[in-house]
Structure 1
Amino acid sequence: MDKIYLDHAATTPVKPEVLEAMMPYFTQNFGNPSSVYQIAQINKKALDDARETVAKHLGAHPNEIFFTAGGSEADNWAIKGIAEANKAKGNHIITSKIEHHAVLHTCEYLEKQGYEVTYLNVNENGQIDLEELKAAIKDTTILITIMYANNEVGSIMPVKEIGQIAKEHGVAFHTDAVQAVGQVRIDVKDQNIDALSMSGHKIYGPKGVGVLYIRRGLKVTNLIHGGAQERGRRAGTENVPGIVGLAKAIELAYTDFDNKIARIQGLRDRLINGILTSIPYSKLNGDPVKRLANNANIGFEFVEGESLLLLLDMNGVAASSGSACTSGSLDPSHVLLALGLPHEKAHGSLRMTLGEKTTEAEIDFVLEKLPAIVGRMRDMSPLYEDFLKENKQD
């Protein structure tokens, strides 16, 4: 069997239709959209069309869509931009302890600039308490930034309810929807979202391109100063091929959407149930119901996550760990710790995220190989040996 890719939350392959849509804008239609001659105006129209496509699938107006270099830039722009534009009103920001580092590190930066940040707890399923959110709001609160769905455990937040609370208190609401776009239906107006970040490469589009939705009337300062691109809000010559690709990707993501999600969710449930029934001392991390259709995050006791990844890779399976091994850190995932897992259990988690081309045969292959891999690792674990002795098991 070819390499099995189960890390679609990290990135996705560019779909052939997306690449095909992009290709003319690398060579034939190369004009700068800011120029006035015909070959440039072709690209200007491509940008306008892409903006309309993205807006349609987010429930927004085209003039509320701003193209960025990715999700991290969109998060930075939204949080810094709202904070700076509203500092005369207050300096208090509310977020959660399980946000992506693009949000957490931006909030930490703003704390050094004199802003106050409240980091909400989450329960064992990765959900915030709406009453705790209400209690955290002050007269000086200017922004609530809570992710739509968590990138590690897949838990989906009560976005509409969060947005309603923010609206009732006159506070701006931003959501990092990088993992959610293409996985759930989004309507920024219905869900009371004032600002939303997304990224192209999570939805089978190109890397290096993203979107920030900014509700009309929301005060946000500019992140990049220079030319008049993006209606004077975000300077820099537009990445036309990338933007065209992102628009094509989001269009494809919501084509036959319900059937695709139902199929992926069925495979995910097959994977989760198969692991939990065949491997003792394993546990699903995240919300068992309110979770992304493609996310399976499993914790294994007496197992070390990085070694598990390497053994899976040797068996042809690409996945990711709950711990921050790729960053060179020995610290376990801040998300899993926030869910209440002790360090040793947080280190033994495995995230598998399925894609549109994931097959039943691939899931069965993982279910065949994983028990033996976990068993092999536990056989080498003195902690597991001690555990068996204490519990008088063979």
Structure 2
Amino acid sequence: MTKQAVTLGDVMALDLDPHRVEAGNTYPNIGIYSFGRGTFGKQAIDAAETSASTLYRIRAGQIIYSRLFAFEGAYASVPAEHDGAFVSNEFPTFTVDTARADPAFIGWLFRWSETWRSLRAGAVGMGDRRQRVHPERVLRHRFALPQLTEQRRLVARLDAAAAAVERANQLISEVDYDLLQAARNIIWQAGEDPKVWVPCGSFLRQRALDVRVEAEIEYAFAGVYSFGRGIFRSEVKGGSTFSYPALTRIRAGDFTYPKLMAWEGALGVVPTECDGLVVSPEFPVFEIDAAIVQPAVVDTFFRDPRTLPMLRSASSGTNVRRRRIQPGQFLGLKMPIPSTAEQAMIMTILERRNAVLEARRDSVAALQALLPAMLNEAFDAAE
């Protein structure tokens, strides 16, 4: 393979398109996923709500990154659907010289983890999460550039592999979604009888804070994703790094939510893998009376997007991003309680769903490993 040692500055240039923010306008906005996973649409920037006086328009095919999150791979090639969006000065953009490099090839270069690791070595700032990679450092990055025909061949292979991975993941997601919806629909169908709706306080009992914080001890925290995506293992913090005097230790089968984000579906039942973690006092924790309703049924109901209007109606506060659901308000919400036979049917469906996902675990792992392996092959071969 014919290749040439070059810097990114040889094949692309910083290309900023500043626009003054004008009163009365809104500006389509994007964010960048970490770990080379591309861009995503965000809420439009309203001139009346931003402190920025200048925003920067981006174009399809440009390379863009987040200065603040470059250390964890927040680089991307701008896709067609985000052409014309606007970003702040924290998102430098570059235009590729198409006479020397295929923009899609450079985009794939930035999806390769070795590229971010090399650039991270040149980051500046105090602390890992405050380090920034400046455009000059990006442009100095050296790599091996094949001829255009070879670049396009590699792009075609990588694009085809990415499409195959996406199709396979979509099929798995569809099976998962169909089974989950079947379980959810049993609950809502039971709810067609008004008499089965009961206050959450009839089957939830709030647990007290039970972990006294000591400065020299480290605590493994749980977090809760928004939009019904469940509970996850978060970070480990030393007791001297936060101000809460007490925490709650969560157990598998407990129900919890963050007061601040519950209105957007950040709630759920604690999974086995999060048993024994802790949460702050901002996360009310409840035991579920399984004699009335199975924890998995509660989890299935409250992580359903159809519960969002109910959750939002229970939130208090004037600022939408600061609204909270206090425990008393949550306990006053109502949930339909299916019959014992219906709950057994729901549990059977959920067990089948878990079995399907478990059977596909190896396939999913292989799919997730495919693109990194191909990127290693493509760019190691190019060097």
Structure with the higher fraction of residues in strand conformation: 2
Q: Taking structure 1 as the reference length, what is the TM-score of the superposition?
A: 0.26
Of structures 1 and 2, the one with the larger relative CO (CA 8 A, separation 6+) is: 1
Q: Taking structure 2 as the reference length, what is the TM-score of the superposition?
A: 0.26
